[in-house]
Amino acid sequence: MPATSALRPPVDRDVPLVGRQPLEGPYVLLTFRHPEVARRARAGQFVMIKAATVTEAILRRPFSIMSVDPREDTFTLFLKAVGPGSRALATLRPGEAAGCLGPLGRPFTAPPEGHEALCVAGGYGIAPFVLFADELRRARRRARVFYGGRTRAELQLRAPFATLDPPLVCATDDGSFGHHGVVTGAVAAYLDTRPGPVTLYACGPDAMLHAVARLAEERRLPAQVSLDPWMGCGLGTCLGCVVRIRRENETRAKYRCACTEGPVFDAREVVWA
């Protein structure tokens, strides 16, 4: 049976850019008007989006939904311009359109009662944690966000966490900002202080996700990881974004679409490459 999400179908529409805020380097915040995404999106979900101005790159690109404003019918993406698709989006001007499908995918699941959510982000993997921190705050759950990158220049999305309590924990490989070292080191150091029950959440490069999964296994902690394989359609039809997943009751791993069955998976079910 093709995997069909229990969630409501996404909505496909052309969306106008309504706000654009450049950050340092290749980073930019883009706000689009899309009522269904604005009202329905949950943290960890994403959109497939493509600027109407680009033709050479034909596919839409997946981006985590960073935040929503249901009163304005808008959502915001945190984007790093790296290739033709993301560059075309990054250079859109207000009023220009993008084709957009969303909200897509399975969101993060709230931690069990009494658990502190430890959110571990690498690079632009920080985006979904803006929305997640907001959801957790409204649900009166404790959240602690760890944000890692190679250098200070990669930690561009700190402002939305300015009022976070406890404060955002940063780490850089080169020591230019926050803890010197990988972000999972900062997480491990926190776990060494023997906090109460915690659930780990991670979004970022594969190596970081794998490190979080190992940490969760060593310390016997529940963990949810948001995977980011190359994605073609977001609908489970191109079968390009498959990842090896072995569910608890299965004897062998199966290829499953990250777009429809993820992107968030239980870390124990992921068969790491």
What are φ and ψ of residue 181, in 5° steps? 135, -175
| Minimum CB distance to another protein smaller for 101 or for 209 | 101
Which segments of 112-198 does DSSP mark as H helices, in order?
127-138, 183-192
Q: Are 233 and 48 in contact (CB under 8 A)?
A: yes
Residue span binding another protein (CB under 8 A) among the ranges 28-36, 66-74, 214-222, 224-232? 224-232
Should residue 106 be labelled a site residue for another protein when binding is judged by CB under 8 A? no
Is 225 within 8 Å of 44 (Cβ atoms)?
no
Q: Which of 97, 205, 242, 269 binds another protein (CB under 8 A)?
A: 242
Q: Is 191 in the site for another protein (CB under 8 A)?
A: no
Stretch in the footprint of another protein (CB under 8 A) among 7-15, 27-35, 73-81, 131-139:
7-15
For residues 263 and 53, what is the distance between their CA atoms, to the nearest angstrom?
Answer: 27
Question: Rounded to the nearest whole angstrom, what is the least distance from the CB of residue 225 to another protein in the complex?
Answer: 17
**Residue from 167, 197, 230, 272 that binds another protein (CB under 8 A)?**
230
Q: Is 8 in the site for another protein (CB under 8 A)?
A: yes
Q: Which residue has the tokens 């705050």?
A: 137
Question: Which range of residues in 2-10, 15-23, 162-170, 201-209 is near another protein by CB under 8 A?
Answer: 2-10
CA 15 to chain centre: 21
**CB contact at 8 A, 55 and 108:** no
Query: SS3 for 7?
Result: coil
Whole-angstrom Cα distance, residue 17 to residue 37?
Answer: 14
Selected from 229, 246, 268, 269, the binder of another protein by CB under 8 A is 229
254 lies in the binding site for another protein (CB under 8 A): yes
Binding part of the chain for another protein, among 8-16, 172-180, 197-205, 214-222 by CB under 8 A, reads: 8-16
3-class state of residue 263 by DSSP: strand
Give the distance between the most distant pair of CA atoms in the chain.
53
> Binder to another protein among 42, 50, 141, 144 (CB under 8 A)?
50
**Looking at 1, 93, 114, 162, which residue binds another protein (CB under 8 A)?**
1
Q: How far is CA 235 from CA 44, 46, 225, in A?
A: 16, 12, 20
Q: Residue written as tokens 């870390």? A: 267
Nearest to another protein of 107, 236 (CB atom):
236
Question: Please, what is the minimum distance in Å from the beta carbon of residue 89 to another protein?
Answer: 14
Gap between the Cα atoms of 154 and 135, Å rounded = 25
Q: How many CA atoms lie within 13 A of 68 on its CB side?
A: 25
- Closest to another protein by CB, 142 vs 244, is 244
Q: Binder to another protein among 26, 35, 99, 222 (CB under 8 A)?
A: 99
243 binds another protein (CB under 8 A): yes
Interface residues with another protein (CB under 8 A) are 1-2, 4, 8-12, 50, 55-60, 99, 101, 229-230, 232-233, 235-240, 242-243, 254-255, 260
